[in-house]
Structure 1
Amino acid sequence: MTHTIALRPALALLLLVVGATTQALPLNDRLERPAHLSPLAEREALTDIQPVGDSQVMVGTAGHILLRNASGQVQQARVPVDLLLTAVQFVDAKHGWAVGHDGVIVHSNDGGLSWRKQLDGHAINPLLLKAAEDDVARLEQALVAAPDDPALASALDNAMFALDDAQAASAAGPSRPLLGVWFRNAREGWVVGAYGMILKTDDGGVTWQPLNGLENPDRLHLNSVLGLTDGSLLVAGEGGRLYRSGDDGAHWSSVQSPTEASLYALAQLPNGEVLAAGFGGTLLVSNDQGERWMARRLPVNVSLYGIRPLADGGVVLAGQGGTLLFSPDGQRFEAWQAPGKAALLNTSLARTGELLLVGAAGLQVLPTIPFKVHAQ
Structure 2
Amino acid sequence: MNTPTFACCALVLSAALLSTTTVASPLADRLERPSRLTAKAQYAPLIDVQRVGDQLVMVGADGHILSRKADGRVEQAKVPVDLLLTAVHFVDDRQGWAVGHDGVVLHSDDAGASWTPQLDGRTINALMLEWAQSEVERLQAAPTVDEQALESARFALDDISAGAEAGPARPLLDVWFRNAREGWVVGAYGAVLHTTDGGNTWTIVASLDNPDRLHLNSVLGLANGDLLIAGEGGRLYRQSAGHWQPAQVLTPASLYKLTQLRDGQVLAMGFGGALFSSQDDGQHWQAATLPSATSLYGAEQLADNSVLLTGQAGLLHSKDLQHFRILQPRNKAVWLGAAALPDGALALVGNRGLRLLGREEIQEYLR
TM-score norm. by structure 2 comes to 0.94
Residues 136 and 309 of structure 1: CA distance in aligned 2, closer, same or farther (over 3 Å): farther
Aligned to 1:8: 8
- The more displaced of 162-171 and 64-73 is 162-171
Query: What is the deviation of 1:70?
Result: 1.4
Aligned to 2:110: 110
Aligned to 1:162: 156
C-alpha distance in structure 1 between counterparts of 2:365 and 2:333, whole Å:
24
Equivalent residue runs for 1:41-60 within 5 Å: 41-60=41-60
Aligned to 1:304: 296
Query: What is the deviation of 1:311?
Result: 4.7
Residues 256 and 75 of structure 1: CA distance in aligned 2, closer, same or farther (over 3 Å): same
- The code of the aligned residue for 2:62 comes to A
8 Å contact kept, 1:328–1:372 = no
- The code of the aligned residue for 1:344 comes to W
Equivalent residue runs for 1:326-345 within 5 Å: 326-345=317-336
C-alpha distance in structure 1 between counterparts of 2:134 and 2:363, whole Å:
53
198, 219, 224: which one pairs with 1:225?
A: 219
Gaps of 5+ in 2: none
245, 254, 263: which one pairs with 1:262?
A: 254
- The code of the aligned residue for 1:173 comes to G
8 Å contact kept, 1:48–1:60 = yes
Residues 311 and 163 of structure 1: CA distance in aligned 2, closer, same or farther (over 3 Å): farther
RMSD: 1.8
SS at match of 1:260: coil
Residues 369 and 161 of structure 1: CA distance in aligned 2, closer, same or farther (over 3 Å): farther
8 Å contact kept, 1:97–1:107 = yes
Query: What is the deviation of 1:239?
Result: 0.3
C-alpha distance in structure 2 between counterparts of 1:257 and 1:269, whole Å:
22
8 Å contact kept, 1:256–1:293 = no
8 Å contact kept, 1:196–1:219 = yes
152, 176, 189: which one pairs with 1:195?
A: 189
- The code of the aligned residue for 1:95 comes to Q
C-alpha distance in structure 2 between counterparts of 1:171 and 1:90, whole Å:
33
% same residue:
55
Aligned to 2:266: 274
337, 342, 345: which one pairs with 1:346?
A: 337
- The code of the aligned residue for 2:203 comes to Q
Aligned to 2:144: 146
Q: Is 1:289 the equivalent of 2:281?
A: yes
C-alpha distance in structure 2 between counterparts of 1:36 and 1:199, whole Å:
29
Q: Is 1:17 the equivalent of 2:9?
A: no
Q: Is 1:85 the equivalent of 2:85?
A: yes
Aligned to 1:324: 315
SS at match of 1:19: coil
SS at match of 2:18: helix
SS at match of 2:122: helix
Query: What is the deviation of 1:337?
Result: 1.1
Query: What is the deviation of 1:374?
Result: 6.8
- CA offset digits 1:206-236 (Å, max 9, x no partner): 0001101112122110000000011010000
Query: What is the deviation of 1:47?
Result: 0.3
Q: Which 4+ residue blocks in structure 1 deviate beyond 6 angstroms?
A: none
C-alpha distance in structure 1 between counterparts of 2:361 and 2:275, whole Å:
22
SS at match of 1:155: helix
8 Å contact kept, 2:339–2:347 = yes
Query: What is the deviation of 1:291?
Result: 1.1
Aligned to 1:253: 245
TM-score norm. by structure 1 comes to 0.92
